[in-house]
Amino acid sequence: MSKMTISFPHMGDYHVPIGAFVQRLFPEARVMAAPPITNETAAIGQRHSPDFICEPFKYNIGNFIQALDQGANILLQTGTGCRFGYYGELQEQILRDLGYEFQFICLSRDRARPQPIYETLRKLGSPLSTPQMIHAVLLAVAGIRTMDKLSGIIRETMGFTSSPGEMLSEYGVFLQELKQADTAAKIYVLARAYEKNLRLMTRDNITHHPLRIGIVGDLYTVMEPFSNFDMERKMAARGIAISRKMSVSFLLFGAGERPRLRKTRGYLRYSGGANGLDSVGQSIQYAKLGYDGVIHAKSFGCTPELNAIPAMMRVSQDFGIPILHLSFDTQAGDTGLDTRLEAFIDMMEMRRKASGSSV
């Protein structure tokens, strides 16, 4: 039997802690994240996916095909919260119809719970004891939480450094060191050191009252830069402070559905699934915090986010906060996005001036 070569879809920088986690579970296997998403990935996924299916599905198919072509023979997939949790079987069938031979591990819906995951790991032959598996999980969680904290600092401050590329390079070094961190203590030390370094890069450089924009939307679209044409970096180049609460940490440790629904009282009576509830609740929060605007980013055809738009329109009216709704698909281009972002930013700057505040 050929050596296990395990792969999984690409999503932002999360392949670093996820890859390290899978490697700890299967020390003898070859673990490789799918290649970073490119136009070629999008084209492959578009070619082999149903036309009106959501963007994450298409990128995942492209990722899987590229990984299989590079020798992967075990593919991992997961998903909950929306119809994406039901996509695994369809993705597997598409790949098999293309003639690929592989083992497909889909940990979605009810299978995304501890006991089914544990049983799957045992069937795949993980040699770790149960305490060792728990340790690997805790390390992965610590790495993800550290990543999300540092990337949050970068979003808030990247537009105010003398060299934004330097901040991103520093974060890249952190990710490389995170791969090697094999204890919680080492991750903690990395977190403190790199947080200090990142904050030093922005000392005395932040303008007095920068524009502040909150980003909400479906999990994949807001977290994968290629999926949203790297709009966070585009806005940082305009000297804007960016906030985005949606992250894997939020997915793992965010409040339950009922507390989140209470935050939308007066706007939503039901959840609607996935992150639509969070898009409304976080928009309300950004409005109350005095943010200048909100960008709602979603995959084209994402039903929970479509259902959230009427409530968000009411939030915009009630709180007087502009909300820009953006839909993304593999067939879209970034020229239209640039134009809409420029117009949105110009509008917020004019509102600032009209209100007598300095930008």
**103-138: pLDDT as tens digits:** 999 988 788 888 999 999 999 999 999 999 999 999
**Closest alpha carbon to 282 in 303, 300, 267:** 267
Tell me what pLDDT residue 329 has.
87
**294-336: pLDDT as tens digits:** 999 999 878 889 999 999 999 999 999 999 999 998 766 777 8
Question: At residue 358, does pLDDT exceed 60?
Answer: no
Q: Predicted confidence band at 272 (pLDDT cuts at 50, 70, 90)?
A: confident
Tell me what pLDDT residue 204 has.
59
Which residues in 60-218 belong to E strands, given as ranges? 74-79, 103-108, 212-217
Q: Which residues contact 160 (CB under 8 A, 6 or more apart)?
A: 202, 205, 206, 207, 210, 239, 241
Q: Predicted confidence band at 207 (pLDDT cuts at 50, 70, 90)?
A: low
pTM for the structure as a whole: 0.92
Q: What single string gives the DSSP state of each residue in 292-333?
A: SEEEEEEETT-HHHHHHHHHHHHHHHHHT--EEEEEE-TT--
Tell me what pLDDT residue 359 has.
46
- Per-chain mean pLDDT for the chain: 91
The share of the chain scoring above pLDDT 90, in percent, equals 71
Tell me what pLDDT residue 51 has.
84
CATH classification code of 207-359: 3.40.50.11900
Cβ atoms of 168 and 198 within 8 Å: the answer is no
Tell me what pLDDT residue 203 has.
62
Name which residue leads in pLDDT, 345 or 80.
Answer: 345
Query: CA neighbours within 13 Å on the CB side: how many for 343?
Result: 9
